[in-house]
């Protein structure tokens, strides 16, 4: 016998308790939505990838501890993540001194890698336009 149960919006099925014959649900974590709320970002009329970019700019500023890249200093390293787009995975964190292909730069490779690991889903939405 098959029984279909509609999972409440914002939740996912966690498992079935045989003793009580109940299905347990847990709240889905939507990292992007949580960060939008944390940073009080107005998302009205924005596509999901635009929202992710606004969130990433806040994250980069926070992770860098207020550090702002000095684009006139050719000796200062500026790190940015580079992704494999076919399977969306981090390829490397590259370093530039006086130019950058992205505005999301970090003051160290370590901070770049840690941010990608912690906020991977947000980077994925930004680069792919969704979390697929």
Q: pLDDT for 8-28, tens place per residue?
A: 666 677 777 888 878 887 766
pLDDT at res. 10: 62
Helix (H) or strand (E) run with residue 62 in it: helix 48-63
* DSSP β-bridge partners for residue 16: 23
**Residue with the larger pLDDT of the pair 75 and 25:** 75
Number of neighbours of residue 5 by Cβ within 10 angstroms: 8
* DSSP β-bridge partners for residue 94: 80
CA atoms within 13 A on the CB side of 60: 23
Q: Are 76 and 70 in contact (CB under 8 A)?
A: yes
Q: pLDDT for 94-121, tens place per residue?
A: 888 766 556 799 999 999 999 999 999 9
User: Rounded distance, CA 4 to CA 93, Å?
Assistant: 46
Q: Mean pLDDT score of the chain, rounded to an integer?
A: 86
């Amino acid at each position: 016998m098959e029984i279909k149960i509609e999972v409440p919006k914002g939740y996912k099925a966690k498992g079935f308790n045989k003793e009580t014959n109940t299905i347990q649900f847990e709240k889905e974590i939507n990292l992007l939505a949580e960060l939008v709320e944390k940073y009080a970002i107005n998302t009205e009329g924005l596509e999901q990838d635009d929202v992710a970019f606004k969130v990433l700019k806040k994250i980069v500023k926070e992770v860098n501890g207020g550090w702002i890249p000095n684009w006139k200093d050719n000796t200062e390293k500026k790190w940015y993540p580079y992704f494999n787009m076919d399977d969306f995975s981090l390829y490397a964190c590259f370093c530039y001194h006086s130019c950058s292909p992205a505005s999301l730069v970090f003051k160290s490779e370590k901070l770049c890698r840690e941010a990608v690991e912690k906020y991977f889903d947000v980077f994925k939405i930004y680069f792919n336009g969704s979390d697929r």
